[in-house]
Amino acid sequence: MSNSNFDAVVVGSGPNGLAAAIVLQQAGLAVLLLEGSPQLGGGLRTAELTLPGFRHDLGSAIHPLAVASPFFQTLPLASYGLRFITPPVAVAHPFDDGTAAAATGSLADTARQLGPDAGAYRRLLEPLVADWPGIAPDVLGPLGWPRHPLPMARFGLSALLPATVLARRFRGPAARGLLAGAAAHSMLPLNKLATSAAGLVLLIAAHRAGWPLPLGGAQAIADALVAHFRALGGQVETGTFVASLAQLPPARAVLFDVTPAQLLQIAGHSLSSIYRWQLGRYRYGMGAFKVDWALDGPIPFAAPDCARAGTLHLGGTLEEIAAGERATARGQHPARPFVLLAQPSRFDATRAPAGRHTAWAYCHVPNGSRVDRTAAIEAQVERFAPGFRDRIVGRHTFDPAQLEALNPNCVGGDINGGRLDITQLFTRPALRASPYRTSRPGLYLCSSATPPGGGVHGMCGYHAARRALRDVFKLPALPLRRG
């Protein structure tokens, strides 16, 4: 490890660790970024998992929050080669009759194909889509007095509802299914408070900038962030797994892109007893079981709009999705799980050899489950794309334990960094004046275990770094401005 003098050290190079490091380096500090893996990026990695020439995203593949992130929008990431591809359909939600609900960049076009719910959908989403630039920093941040109280209240009145309650505004299965699929990204039973928040944020993103994918794979996002950090003068060390504070070089501030479980292992002895107790009570949510496929052709979805979508939500009606997520939360493995599927090679030819394709999908499972869900996931794809199994030429799976081995922040396979229920939505990981401060001065948490939670947006790292700038370095935390 470097013996140089640093003002700040950031441990972990996921999108939040990278964001924190960039904010601190932008302020003129000397920053060291440490990563335990030989590869930077946390879950933002791309590799040939199945067959040579087939490039798969190890973590997330579709990144609506990356382009919607108020912080990432300030960075010149395109100058480091980052290019986003926006499929014409952000997300398609097929049904058993061969139709699909499709969310596109046009809210009006999306509403028109929802039949009797066209007016209700527009009344719900149009104000929120218009309000998003003003409320995004508050939605994607810690609890506090909002910059725009009335628009934020308009969002909150719907966002805090259970998705099953918000869906009562709609009569037909198309609008109800579209909302259910987006809300299920919360990894909670849909009858829980605030499950509508995830659904609304993702639908807002669909209608503002789509659900894009990075050219070449998710690794491109990490590579651009790392390149920008280095261009600012930041230093990076890989292959340095931090197991205790004693391993760190002297620094005035240390920011950890880890979850409470790892922080307790690394620094538990130096934290107050009440804070250790709070971290020990932190709850992790459902896990994920993920499958990557190499295919000899595109997935043959029955509904035409599915071929135009980067993301598919496979689960049928709201009632079916809600029942499956509820069963999973009870520790069960439903026969027909809700499946999230991405097909990046339909829009990015760099992902597979000519004429071939890649796709990945995952379903939610009980935290720490070791049950193989490959057959159940593939059955759900086959249900909406007859002939899909015949296209498979290679396969790779990650169960929750393997996801955690790949990225230790995915405790028990929880890709959200902790349960996103109402009690952990804004106050994660502990109820404190600032959720980013620990009980030890100069030590901060900047991972998805802090507000606003999971997703590739960097806002957890951004807010944590601003807190450290004010507390430790007595430097102003400048407002977000587009670069």
Which domains does the chain show, CATH number per domain?
A: 8-45+61-79+215-282+421-471 (3.50.50.60)
Give dist(CA 10, CA 29) in Å, integer.
Answer: 12
Question: Is the pLDDT score of 150 beyond 50?
Answer: yes
With a cut of 80, say whether residue 405 has pLDDT above it. yes
Please give the pLDDT value at position 460. 96
Does the structure show a pLDDT above 70 at 26? yes
Exposure string of 380-400, with b = 16+ CB inside 10 Å and e = fewer, is bbbbbbeebeebbebebebbb
pLDDT band at 425 (very low <50, low <70, confident <90, very high): confident
DSSP-assigned letter for residue 248 = S
What confidence tier does 480 reach under pLDDT thresholds 50, 70, 90?
confident
Query: Looking at residues 383-391, what average pLDDT do you find?
Result: 98
Q: What percent of the chain has pLDDT over 90?
A: 93
Evaluate if residue 391 carries a pLDDT over 60: yes
Instruction: Please give the share of the chain, as a percent, with pLDDT higher than 70.
Output: 98
Average pLDDT, the chain: 96
Half-sphere exposure of 138 (CA within 13 A, CB side): 19
pLDDT tens, 177-223?
999 999 999 999 999 999 999 999 999 999 999 999 999 999 999 99
Tell me the sheet residues that pair with 11: 34, 256
Q: How far apart are CA 122 and CA 59, in angstroms?
A: 33
Q: How many CB atoms lie within 10 A of CB 331?
A: 11
| Closest to 215 (Cα-Cα) out of 358, 344, 316, 110 | 344
Give the gyration radius of the chain's Cα atoms.
21
d(CA 312, CA 482): 31
Q: Over 60: is that where the pLDDT of 368 sits?
A: yes
Alpha-carbon gap, residue 257 to 36, rounded angstroms: 11
Q: 142 vs 347, which has greater pLDDT?
A: 347
Q: Which two tokens stand for residue 364?
A: 């939610």
**Which pLDDT belongs to residue 119?**
98
Measured CA to CA, the distance from residue 248 to residue 260 in angstroms comes to 18
Is the CB of residue 193 less than 8 Å from the CB of residue 426? no
Range list of β-strands (E), 165-308: 213-214, 235-237, 253-256, 287-295
Mean pLDDT computed over 325-337: 98
Do the Cβ atoms of 66 and 221 come closer than 8 Å? yes
Burial, 148: exposed, middle or buried (Cβ in 10 Å; 0-12, 13-18, 19+)?
middle
Residue 255 has a pLDDT of 98
Contact 319, 113 (CB under 8 A): no
Give the pLDDT confidence of 274-290 residue by residue, as tens digits. 999 999 999 999 999 99
Is residue 482 over pLDDT 70?
no
Report residue 115: phi and psi, to 5°. 60, -120
107-121 pLDDT, tens digit each: 999 999 999 999 999
* Of residues 202, 194, 208, the one with CA closest to residue 163: 194
List, in order, residues 6 or more apart from 314 with CB less than 8 Å away. Answer: 94, 338, 339, 340, 341, 361, 380, 381, 383, 384
Which two three-digit tokens encode residue 243?
A: 């197991």
What is the tens place of the pLDDT at every residue in 215-235?
Answer: 999 999 999 999 999 999 999
Written as six digits, the tokens of 462 are 């951004």
Tens of pLDDT, residue by residue over 71-114, are 999 999 999 999 999 999 999 999 999 999 999 999 999 999 99
Asked if residue 481 has pLDDT above 70, the reply is no
What pLDDT shows up at residue 424?
Answer: 87
Whole-number Å distance between alpha carbons of 44 and 14: 7
Name the pLDDT band for 476 (thresholds 50, 70, 90): confident
Statement: residue 2 has pLDDT above 70: no
CA angle 344, 125, 119 (to 5 degrees): 110
3-state helix, strand, coil in the chain (%, to 5): 40, 15, 45
Q: How confident is the model at residue 483 (pLDDT cuts 50, 70, 90)?
A: very low
**pLDDT at res. 12:** 97
pTM of the model: 0.95
